[in-house]
Amino acid sequence: MTALDSLLALLLLLLAARCVSARSLLQAIVAFIVLGLLLALSWVRLEAPDLALAEAAIGAGLLGVLLLGTWRSLPLGHGNERIPLPWQGLRPALITTGCTVLAVLLTVALHQHPEQAAMSGLAALDQLDAAGVDQPVTAVLLNFRAYDTLLEMGVLLMALIGTLMLDSPLPRDTELPARTMLPATLAQLFLPLILLIGLYLVWAGAYSPGGAFQGGAVLAGAGVLLILTGFGEGDGRDGWVLRALLAGGALVFTLAGLLLIPVTGAFMAYPQGLVTPIMVLIEFSLALSIALSLLLLYTGTPGLRRRGER
């Protein structure tokens, strides 16, 4: 299947080059989104379907919506630029040389294989039984390296706080839904399905591809759809329940880390027997936090409300 790999690789590179060199910002963004989808495809081929899901949902999907929305909020023609070609001046030539050398070195480095296999990875697969979940990636994320995930939730929360401080929500489209009822009807039709898939992904994360991140992203996607079809919108006010849900993912980790110290004697370790329930609790609170955070990152507002509500 090297031929297909080669084709994918070629397409990825071409799209990347297009993304950098397109004069129109819109085209660059579109190239980037397509690249994300192709990347997800290549990850499926590399035995990483859950990552492909995440990339498609978050990296290409949600980020794509955000990119397009931002592009729309910029003045006309903003961000259109022609970057100099490698031979147009000394600086581009130097940068091109440097980047090419880097790429070649990286290629060589990525082909160097050490003699023994990665010991952390082996250990992770080895101790999977004790982790409370069957899916290795979920085990790493929520148990073996749960600390990373806690910190990551912090990153998400702080990006959100920063975004809200800027008070620049995405522009809302007021005209389209008025012209046609079709998208709204469709949303009503699909919404249960999307919610189901999202929750399923969260639940399934324990034993098959999926997990809090993918599920959360899908749930956020449902929210985006609701907003796009005019059922909901961003709100300038927030409430403590919403904030608690937003902070919930990180809070559960923090509390689990602190409160269970006397019980287990170790930090962020979960008592035998309770591992699975705790994992499930963490998964769902994480998914909820992620979904809401991503949704608010999209609206750029501190709260949410139904359309027309005050």
Of residues 34, 37, 190, 274, which one binds another protein by CB under 8 A? 190
Is residue 195 at the binding interface for another protein, with CB under 8 A as the rule?
no
CA dist 95 and 146 (Å) reads: 39
Which two structure tokens, joined as six digits, stand for 277? 């329930």
- Name the CA dihedral angle for 244, 248, 250, 252, rounded to a multiple of 10 degrees: 130
CB of 306 to another protein, least distance (A): 22
Q: Among residue numbers 7 through 66, which ones bind another protein (CB under 8 A)? A: 8-10, 12-13, 16-17, 19-20, 22-29, 32, 35-36, 39, 42-43, 46-48, 50-51, 54-55, 58-59, 62-63, 66
Among 179, 273, 308, 310, binds another protein (CB under 8 A): 179
**Do 194 and 218 form a contact (C-beta atoms < 8 A)?**
yes
Report the residue number, 127 or 276, with the smaller CB distance to another protein.
Answer: 127
Is 93 an interacting residue with respect to another protein (CB under 8 A)? no
Could you say which of 132, 170, 278, 284 contacts another protein (CB under 8 A)? 170
Residue 270-289 contact track with another protein, rule CB under 8 A, x = bound: --------------------
Q: Binding to another protein by residue 225, rule CB under 8 A? A: no
Task: Identify the residue among 206, 268, 279, 292 touching another protein (CB under 8 A).
Answer: 268
Given a contact cutoff of 8 angstroms between Cβ atoms, the answer to whether 31 and 68 are in contact is no
Cβ atoms of residues 287 and 222 within 8 Å: no
Pairing outcome for strands 232-235 and 303-306: antiparallel
Decide if residue 111 touches another protein (CB under 8 A): yes
The answer to whether the beta carbons of residues 275 and 206 sit under 8 Å apart is no
Q: Is residue 303 within the footprint of another protein (CB under 8 A)? A: no
Question: What is the residue-wise DSSP string for 34-47?
Answer: HHHHHHHHHHHHTT
- Residue 263 found at the interface with another protein (CB under 8 A): no
Pick 259 or 308: Cβ nearer another protein = 259
207 binds another protein (CB under 8 A): no
Does 181 contact another protein by CB under 8 A?
Answer: no
Closest approach of another protein to the CB of residue 131, in Å: 9
Task: Please state, in angstroms and rounded to a whole number, the distance separating the CA atoms of residues 165 and 300.
Answer: 9
Q: Which of 187, 186, 194, 189 is nearest to 214 (CA)?
A: 194
Cα torsion 152, 154, 159, 164: sign: positive
**Cα dist. 34→60, 159, 263 in Å?**
8, 25, 49
290 touches another protein (CB under 8 A): yes
Interface with another protein (CB under 8 A), residue total: 150
Report in angstroms how near the CB of residue 226 gets to another protein at its nearest.
15
